[in-house]
């Protein structure tokens, strides 16, 4: 996938992404997005909610988080789940349930495969994200992965996603230019 510049210096994203999506992501994050190659998921309002990023950012930094949640309402809801102790419960479930552990390892393999499609980065070779494959240390990564690839690939991402409230019900998190 060709990567090109849109706008000001440092904004390196795929030329195939609509500039309105990049503007929405920038508003969501409060900063210029880096290394974005695809909108991997959208909220019901149509705004990006998950992006797919390069494994090496434009400044050369290795970046293992291939699927990154951008919607502030989504990330806030996930943070609430993290604070509830869900990660600890999930990590224990991995130790207690060999079938779940095998499915989670398969999710790890899927994550690595999808990242490798965008390029190899030696510094993060074999490292996925979110604690995969042995533990859970970031629900944001797992939920973003589940949103990007759909149900049935990441069992713990699916479980966390199902536990979230409907974060989009209060309207779009990203003001449009005509609303600002």
Q: Specify which residues 51 forms β-bridges with.
A: 39, 68
| Helix, strand or coil, per DSSP, at residue 8 | coil
Residue 135: which region, alpha, beta or left (left: phi > 0; alpha: psi -120 to 50)? beta
Tens digit of each residue's pLDDT (9 = 90 or more) over 75-102: 999 999 999 999 999 999 999 999 999 9
Q: What confidence score (pLDDT) does residue 170 get?
A: 76
Instruction: Give pTM, 2 decimals.
Output: 0.87
Q: Cβ neighbours of residue 17 under 8 Å, at least 6 residues apart?
A: 6, 36, 37, 38, 39
Nearest to 142 by CA among 101, 172, 13, 153: 153
Tens digit of each residue's pLDDT (9 = 90 or more) over 36-76: 999 999 988 889 999 999 999 989 999 999 999 999 999 99
pLDDT value at 15 more than 70: no
Give the least confident one: 8-22, 63-77, 128-142: 8-22
Q: What confidence score (pLDDT) does residue 176 get?
A: 57
Q: What confidence score (pLDDT) does residue 173 get?
A: 78
pLDDT value at 2 more than 90: no
CB-based contact 62:56 (threshold 8 Å): yes
Tokens read off for 82: 């993290």
């Amino acid at each position: 996938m060709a990567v090109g510049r849109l706008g000001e210096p440092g904004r390196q994203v795929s030329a195939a992404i609509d500039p309105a999506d990049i503007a929405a992501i920038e508003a969501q994050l409060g900063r210029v997005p880096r290394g974005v190659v695809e909108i991997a998921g959208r909220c019901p309002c149509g705004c990006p909610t998950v992006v797919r990023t390069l494994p090496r950012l434009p400044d050369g930094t290795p970046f293992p988080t291939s699927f990154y949640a951008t919607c502030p309402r989504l990330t806030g809801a996930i943070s609430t789940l993290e604070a509830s102790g869900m990660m600890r419960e999930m990590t224990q479930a991995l130790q207690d349930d060999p079938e779940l552990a095998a499915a989670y390892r398969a999710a790890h393999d899927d994550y690595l495969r999808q990242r490798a499609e965008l390029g190899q980065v030696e510094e993060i070779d074999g490292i996925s994200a979110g604690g995969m494959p042995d533990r859970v240390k970031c629900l944001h990564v797992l939920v973003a992965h589940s949103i990007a690839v759909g149900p049935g690939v990441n069992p713990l991402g699916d479980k966390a996603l199902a536990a979230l409230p409907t974060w989009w019900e209060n309207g779009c998190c990203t003001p449009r230019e005509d609303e600002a």
